[in-house]
Each structure stands twice: as C-alpha cells, then as structure tokens.
Structure 1
Amino acid sequence: MQDESGSRADQRQQDEMPAPAAERIPSENPPIFNLPTGILAALGIVIGIYVLQDFVFSERTNQWVAVEFGFSPIRYLYPLGEQSLAWLWTPVSYSLLHGSFEHLAFNSLWLAAFGTPVCRRIGEVRFLLFWIVSSIAAAALHAVVNWGEPSLMVGASGVISALMGAACRFAFGDRQRVHARLADREPRLLSIGQALSDRTVRVFVIVWFLGNVAIAFGLPMMGADSAAIAWDAHIGGFLLGFFCFALFDPHSRKAA
C-alpha cells in the first residue's frame, strides 16, 4: 500500500513539473502564419476594397475607381497641373486594388507568407513606409518600360515582390533561423554579397527572375491572363526590397 501511494505521489509530482525547455520552444517561436497586426490590417483593407467593388459599387463607380486609383503611365505625358491629383496618389493606391478574386487570393497568400516575417522584424510603422516606397518603385519601373502606354495597373504584386526581396536578406536558410532561435533575437541582416552567396537565396532569386522573364516574353505562367501580368513592376519591387531593405531595418545597425 505504501509503495502504491508512493508511486502515485511520484506520478503527481512528475505531472506537476514544467515541460522540458525543448518542448516549450514552439510557443516561444510562433509559426509564420500567426499574422501580425500590420499584415491583418493590410489584408483587411485589400479584401474590404474588393468586396465593395464586387458587391456594392456599380459598374460606373468601379470604372471611376479604376481610373482614379489605378496606375497608368500615360497620365504623366500630360501637364500635371491640368489634371486631377490622381498622378500623386496612384503610384501607391493601385496596390490596394485587384482585378479578380483569383488575383486577390493569390496576392493575399503571398502577402501573408512574406509580409509576416518582414512586418515582425521592422514593425507596423516601418512596414507601412516600406509598402509606400516599394509600390512607388514598382510603379516607376512599370512606367519606364511602358512609357506613354494607356495601360492600367492594379494589384499588390509589386509590394509583395519587394517583401520577397527583403526576406532574402534575413529570413532564408536554416542557418539564419537556427541562429536567431538560439539567440532569441532577429536574424542579422545579410549583406548583398552574403545573401547571394547563400544557396537557398541564390536559387530563389534565379527561379524568381526566370519566371518573370518568361512572363515578359509571353510564356503562359498562370492561365490565359498571364500576358497582362506587370512583370516589370514585380522586378522594380524586388530590386527595391533586396537592395534597400537596410534603410527600413532597425536591426541592421546592430549587425556585427
């Protein structure tokens, strides 16, 4: 009887003991899709706008929204003082509009995947600034490539490409993630050379650029509408994110 009581007491003692540190690691390192506030807000805005356009606004209103908030290179051929101020806000506002549910769903998925580590690293305020600057960079290259064209560009793909470029500087590779987890801090920002010397980053960049070059030459990548994909905006955003992310990253000053 005493032995049995002693066993039960020992069992209760073991049950009350805290879990080993190794078992607690997942709670200290939440999964990537535990979305931060900035990403939830961005998703809420782009989804909310699409819902309004698809279910509330009339066709005439949607046409006005597309013209006044979508980005068009031809706008800059005319004197800015002789038109509305749409030339001022459209290099950013176009990134909040989407042309179809598939377009919205695809961009939302990649925004959650690549925006999450970037937003966690730099915070909501810097993330907003990064969104604005990267959307302008994407629109700028699109305007250069399509100068004078009456095209109309919408979608967050340029910003998402910038997030992909930024992630290449700190989030790729097991080595970076393991070191950060062990040190309980954000991974250090890799230099351009260090990032390109990492095999994971190098393969990702090559495949990403080859895909966009294929789109530029008209190779169908995502269905019949793939020819309308703004590959140049993707490249403009990616280059901004990859080469300029240190300007937005508060941790870059702490790098050794």
Structure 2
Amino acid sequence: MERDQAATSPETDVDSTDVRSREPAFNLPPGLTGILSFLIAVHVLRTYVLPAEIDQELILNFAFLPVRYTLPLGEQGLVWLWTPVTYSFLHGSWEHLIFNVFWMVAFGAPVVRRIGMARLALFWCLSAAAAVGLHIIFHWGEMAVVIGASGVVSGLMGAAARFVFSPSGRISRQFAHLNRRLSFAETLTNRSVLVFTGIWFLTNLLVGFGFLSIGGAGSVAWEAHIGGFLFGFLLFAFFDPRR
C-alpha cells in the first residue's frame, strides 16, 4: 500500500501535474486485490465445481430473500442474521461479476487506501446491509433472490464522491485518498460531484423503470444500489480517519 509519497497534509488536494505524471496506470491496494480474488474464486467454485443441488443450497443459505423476514425468525436458525452481508459475495453471472469488479477497481481503490482494510470490512458489512435494507422496503415478502456486490460498490461510489473530487473538480487517481473530505455544503456545490451523482442516479432510475440493463442481469435490485450509495455518501465521515 502506498503511503504519503507527496509532501501533503490531510487538508491538501493533490492534483498537481508532477504527481499525476508519477501515477501508475494500474495499481491496486493488496487488500482490494484479495477481495476481488475471493469474489472470483467463489464464482469459479459455484460455476465449475459445485453440483447444481449444492449450489442451490448455498444460495438458499447465503443469498438475501425478503420473504425470509416475514417468517418467524426462530424457525430459520441464524440464516436471517448473516444473509444481509453474505449475499454480496455471490453473483448471478460472469457479466454481473465483471461489472462489479470494474467499478470496485475504480472506486474501491481510493477508499481502501484512505480507510484501510479494518474499516473497509466494517464498511462492507454495513453498506451491504443498508443496501438490502432499502430494497426490502419496496419488496417486502417477495421470493426474489438478491445477490451481488453492487450495493457495496454503490456504497464505495458514494464514499468516494466525498473526497476524490477536489474543490476544483479535478481527480488525482493514485493520490485522491490524500484529499480532504468535502463538507456536505461543498459536495452539493461541486459541479463534478453533482454531475457524477446525477448521472449515477439517472442510470439507476432508467434501470428501475426497465429502460436499461446493466451487469448482464435480467433483473437489477436498483433500490439496493441507492441504499448503498446513500450509506456511503451520508455516513462516510464515521469511517474516515482523515478528520
């Protein structure tokens, strides 16, 4: 993991030409590489190794099902307790997984560099739960299975929006984690943040109304995307070590 290589304080926005010229084109924090490897390994195991019956059992015990919470929790063991997190490690197709990996590389890297793996583990669990928390409000009691890291990816996008854009709107890819966190007032008046957030919400609304399909999935839990994004955007300060 790369630490402060530029002479920069937490209150400095790093976007100089000299710094950008030294940024590698592709450099991921080891922790994020480990997460992506785990997601890929899980999908390889499910796709090429496990028999269909065992895979179905795995989905039943680790995917998120809204209907589960309409049943007496005492009759289900503890499955209801972990599925709001474990669903985020499963994917419906290679397209679904690759889509999430792509955006996790783009927005997860600066967040991981900024908050570290311990905070990221907590962020992952809570953003995953927040994502399906909003989803279940709109789909209470439904049998539809929810899987995929899209809610967490959306949370990482929301968190990154608080600091990757400097007040000038410029981004330093490798050193964006050194920027100071924008206040809500600054965020809501930063043109780059507003454009990014507006396009993100528009895309999800188009998905929700059936005008757009993303990630190779026929049905997208777009409410979960919004729940994750709002969690990251509104609550990132509680995970941010740079005060």
TM-score by length of 1: 0.82
Given the alignment, which residue of 46, 49, 68 partners 1:56?
A: 49
How far residue 32 of structure 1 moved from its aligned partner, in angstroms, is 6.7
Match of 1:37 in 2: 30
Which residues of structure 2 form unaligned runs of 5+?
A: 1-15
**TM alignment of 1:137-156, pairs within 5 A:** 137-156=130-149
TM-score by length of 2: 0.86
Counting matched residue pairs gives 228
**TM alignment of 1:1-256, pairs within 5 A:** 25=19, 30-31=23-24, 33-173=26-166, 175=168, 186-222=178-214, 225-226=217-218, 228-251=219-242, 253=243
How far residue 219 of structure 1 moved from its aligned partner, in angstroms, is 1.2
CA offsets 1:214-251 (integer angstroms, 9 cap, x no match): 1111113338844x101000000000000000000010
How far residue 181 of structure 1 moved from its aligned partner, in angstroms, is 9.3
Query: Letter of the aligned partner of 1:135 in structure 2?
Result: A
Are 1:38 and 1:127, in contact at CA under 8 Å, matched by a contact in 2?
no
Query: Letter of the aligned partner of 1:233 in structure 2?
Result: A
Query: Letter of the aligned partner of 2:142 in structure 1?
Result: E
Q: Distance in 1 between matches of 2:93 and 2:192?
A: 32
Are 1:177 and 1:187, in contact at CA under 8 Å, matched by a contact in 2?
no
Are 1:215 and 1:231, in contact at CA under 8 Å, matched by a contact in 2?
yes
- When the two chains are superposed, the root-mean-square deviation of aligned CA atoms in Å is 2.5
Which residues of structure 1 form unaligned runs of 5+?
A: 1-21
Q: Distance in 1 between matches of 2:172 and 2:48?
A: 48
Residues 232 and 110 from structure 1, CA distance in 2 versus in 1: closer, same or farther, beyond 3 angstroms? same
Match of 2:6 in 1: none
Are 2:110 and 2:174, in contact at CA under 8 Å, matched by a contact in 1?
no
CA offsets 1:133-167 (integer angstroms, 9 cap, x no match): 10010010111110010110000000000000011
Are 1:164 and 1:238, in contact at CA under 8 Å, matched by a contact in 2?
yes
Q: Distance in 1 between matches of 2:171 and 2:69?
A: 48
How far residue 173 of structure 1 moved from its aligned partner, in angstroms, is 4.4
Q: Distance in 2 between matches of 1:168 and 1:32?
A: 21
How far residue 102 of structure 1 moved from its aligned partner, in angstroms, is 0.5
Residues 218 and 100 from structure 1, CA distance in 2 versus in 1: closer, same or farther, beyond 3 angstroms? same
Query: Letter of the aligned partner of 1:56 in structure 2?
Result: V
Which structure exhibits the higher relative contact order, with contacts defined as CA atoms closer than 8 Å and separated by 6 or more residues? 2
Are 2:154 and 2:229, in contact at CA under 8 Å, matched by a contact in 1?
yes
Fraction of identical pairs, as percent: 48
CA offsets 1:76-104 (integer angstroms, 9 cap, x no match): 00111111211000000000000101111
Query: Letter of the aligned partner of 1:164 in structure 2?
Result: M
How far residue 55 of structure 1 moved from its aligned partner, in angstroms, is 1.0
How far residue 24 of structure 1 moved from its aligned partner, in angstroms, is 7.3
Query: Letter of the aligned partner of 2:148 in structure 1?
Result: G
Residues 181 and 231 from structure 1, CA distance in 2 versus in 1: closer, same or farther, beyond 3 angstroms? closer
SS state at 2:178 partner: coil
Q: Distance in 2 between matches of 1:190 and 1:32?
A: 26
SS state at 1:129 partner: helix
How far residue 172 of structure 1 moved from its aligned partner, in angstroms, is 2.0
